Amino acid sequence: MSLASALYRSRQFFRSVGASLSAEDRAEVAQRLNAEQQRLFYAMTARDQRHCLDVFHALQRDGHDDPDLLLAALLHDVGKGPVRLWHRVAYVLIRALSPRLLRRLASESGSGWRRALASFSDHSRRGAVLVEATGAPEAVVSLVRLHSGDEIADDPRAALLRAADESC
């Protein structure tokens, strides 16, 4: 892990502690998401809700108004589920030290921390399945699926979402 990456992760960690949404944030979520999408959004941890809104706002500040891109920003991390902060820290550290070890430890059928590691590892695919079930447009489903990982996307909006995600 580079020094820049470590500093970024440290800032991300400290911002996530005590994350919350304002009444204005909640109104924006209600305006942008249908009832099923809101259910997914509010099933995330408060820190992931805050992060998704931060990504959404970063894209807006950069002048992006594509409704599919903005919807994907709000929903891009729904596949993580309700995981604990220490699970997130463990995932980041293990992934940085040994991706092969992470693959061995993460287990979808496991329990506790092993399942949490798997949910982080596969959250883009899992999130796309969840978002598709809400009736979201295929473009949104695709953006959620492509927002992290090594897969190259033909849609330039996937690169925008990934960059905003990594900046928040």
By residue count, the chain amounts to 168
- 145 and 123 in contact (C-beta within 8 Å)? no
Question: Helices (H), strands (E): how many in the chain?
Answer: 11, 0
pLDDT in tens, 62-114: 999 999 999 999 999 999 887 777 877 787 888 888 889 878 887 777 778 88
Q: What is the pLDDT of residues 4-39, one digit of tens each?
A: 555 555 555 555 556 678 999 999 999 999 999 999
* Global pTM exceeds 0.85: no
Task: Using alpha carbons, select from 100, 95, 86, 101 the residue that is nearest to residue 47.
Answer: 86
- CA-to-CA distance for 47 and 148, rounded, in angstroms? 18
Segment 112-151, tens digit of pLDDT: 888 877 777 788 899 999 999 999 999 999 999 998 866 6
CA angle 95, 97, 101 (to 5 degrees): 65
